Structure 1
């Protein structure tokens, strides 16, 4: 022990980090993080994969300090000791999420601020009323596909197809690309064995999209980002990937988590039905109880530092565990979840999610449609039988079987939901663009590429 501070561990990293990978994650996240908190407290040494260690920061105040203190902790993965020491294979399924890429979530200081400004300006171009109308129309059409059956899986038959349909249109992707998009992003977020190959295929798709939108712009994100003189084509493609990783999957998880909570918490559903709580209150409650992004990609120690009572070495990876921070007993007393918006579900600080209001609009509109369309709703399986997606980077039930009173479709089943533009089309192409230098796919240890939000 440190004689000056007995609370500081002598060992830089314990010899018995807790494994946090594989089948362990296919359960309610509370069953994963609760035991870790009981054993280690606010920060736990974990193993992300065999031989790959990290620190999981579970305390609310500690997570806040980690994401706000940019002078001590960097978002640039090129500092990661596991990479510089060659502990990760080139095709590690961890790299698509944790590896470096020229996107705003993996940059620091001025480079980060410049890209964030471009992305934020693009988000501001969305017509909120048109986006709400689009989501409602797509949601109604989705419910019409199974309302007459009296049963549906609200994850795979509602949340997933609805969110990807809306997000695909926002980004400028064709409807026919949605199934492939779902498969690729699911492999990457789930750290599947084929994650590296999935990332390569996704980046190929996005680079092609950027090239098309440069020549023929449309009313979408890809066109506006492609026509910014402040971003290279490589930066546009990687930022689009970041939106898909964190924006798409987290919105699905948020919607699924809200419906799971309404199905399992009778007090919450009753308060909503009687008007004591609003839909907005309900979706906030879900953020506290089931953070859509249980963990965000991480921070790396710039130098050796003592943090939360532990000796952190330069280059150590620290992962802010938003799911555990949001349920920290230190801020909830007897375990009561908050209904305000002080949660960390979207991160905070300079790297807080820039698209949280768009995500909220999608989730609230989608939940409102379900509450209006479905009557006598009840779970299709016991809560204990639910399986969760086995991922550190996304928390939601893998499926949510639900029973309800069957009803007729509200529109003709032969009609298709039409797409309405929610952005304008860029007026002209800007030719004074930044020089595009997109290296080959990243192979760690050799610093010859790009690869994470």
Structure 2
């Protein structure tokens, strides 16, 4: 395992890879769900900036831990492709189509799954559609739904800002952007969460999302509107039906899960630090500075799926072979001691974090997510003066999957 000339992910042909790698660290299971950062740090000590790991179902992968190595992978699609059709373990039948990893790693006809000209063609449609949506009042939608969510608990004096606020607000704004009815958007919150969580229900929830979005595309083809779905259907890139639905799924899952997670973490930081809370209320502190800090220390996607080695190469002192799967440790990279020897030092004004990925696949909707969060925090603090955390900060818990670590709850109280 310590011989850096070997590839611990490469099994002899015909031998199940997982059986050759029984000592590899798992990025799923009890320890990974409660102490992912501890796992990252242990792997860094044992293997350096890149480590062999096992994903759900004991599927082997390389976890990229170093900041510079993450940037190298993200910025070089010729060496590290996003096209899962070159994933050796899948191509050779060692990963089943029913694996809960497929919704996150499998190939589909969207811009995230492709590189080069196919990627540019499809990404242009997504970027243009999101820009058009932004021009139609994202902040107005966020303000409306923030108030609507708060109305449901404002008279009670208590709330859980995860389940009552952060989980639903981004989805409601996204529903308006996509042209989905509000009720359907609320129903999709659980399905999006389950796709990220993995497990035996991930595929069923992914199928449910695809069915709902397929029906949405049919409705909008018959009755166009001023929404993202209509923009995709009519874009000059000429997306076919499967491409349209795949991109609706991509935007829905990526935007909702990352924005809801980031909003919960921002609220956690504000409510566990009275100086930040008072600074925001008085106007001396800008919410964007708090969001920036959270993106460094608790990025909404802790691990980004995935890249596939386009050829044999060296990374972080390890020999990576063609077809190997790599997953990007965004959380680990952001606290890499080589670039942040002291994580207590302020990162205000430094936007070089990995939270939105990097390179040609960098998140195209990041400004929308940040707008939703800024509005969500501003409306909450103005609607509920005297808002305080209802439990000691050390009682707040999180649960992680392979891809993210989510705050379980954020109980608060306030005068009525």
- Give the structure 2 partner of residue 87 of structure 1: 94
- When normalised by structure 2's length, the TM-score is 0.91
CA contact (8 A) 1:247 1:359 kept: yes
- Give the structure 2 partner of residue 55 of structure 1: 62
Choose from 365, 368, 374 the match for 1:355: 365
CA contact (8 A) 1:22 1:390 kept: no
> Would you say how many aligned residue pairs link Structure 1 and Structure 2?
401
- Give the structure 2 partner of residue 236 of structure 1: 244
Deviates more, 1:19-28 or 1:41-50: 19-28
Higher RCO, Cα 8 Å, sep 6+: 1
C-alpha distance in 2, partners of 1:53/1:382? Answer: 39
CA contact (8 A) 1:289 1:326 kept: yes
- Give the structure 1 partner of residue 415 of structure 2: 406
* Correspondence 1:153 to 2:153: no
- Give the structure 2 partner of residue 264 of structure 1: 272
- 1:208-247 Cα offsets, whole Å, 9 max, x none, are 2111111111121111111224211100100111111211
CA RMSD of aligned residues (A): 2.0
Choose from 390, 400, 403 the match for 1:393: 403
C-alpha distance in 2, partners of 1:387/1:106? Answer: 34
CA contact (8 A) 2:397 2:408 kept: yes
Choose from 141, 146, 151 the match for 1:144: 151
* Correspondence 1:217 to 2:217: no
- Give the structure 1 partner of residue 347 of structure 2: 338
Report the CA distance between 1:207 and its aligned residue. Answer: 1.4
SS at match of 2:167: helix
C-alpha distance in 2, partners of 1:367/1:215? Answer: 38
Report the CA distance between 1:291 and its aligned residue. Answer: 0.2
C-alpha distance in 2, partners of 1:266/1:88? Answer: 49
C-alpha distance in 2, partners of 1:383/1:57? Answer: 31
SS at match of 2:397: coil
Deviates more, 1:93-102 or 1:266-275: 266-275
* Correspondence 1:314 to 2:348: no
SS at match of 1:183: helix
- Give the structure 2 partner of residue 289 of structure 1: 297
- Give the structure 1 partner of residue 383 of structure 2: 373
CA contact (8 A) 1:302 1:314 kept: yes
- When normalised by structure 1's length, the TM-score is 0.84
Choose from 257, 261, 266 the match for 1:253: 261
SS at match of 2:34: coil
- Give the structure 1 partner of residue 83 of structure 2: 76
The runs of at least 4 aligned residues of structure 1 exceeding 6 Å deviation read: none
Structure 2: runs of 5 or more not aligned: 10-20
Deviates more, 1:299-308 or 1:84-93: 84-93
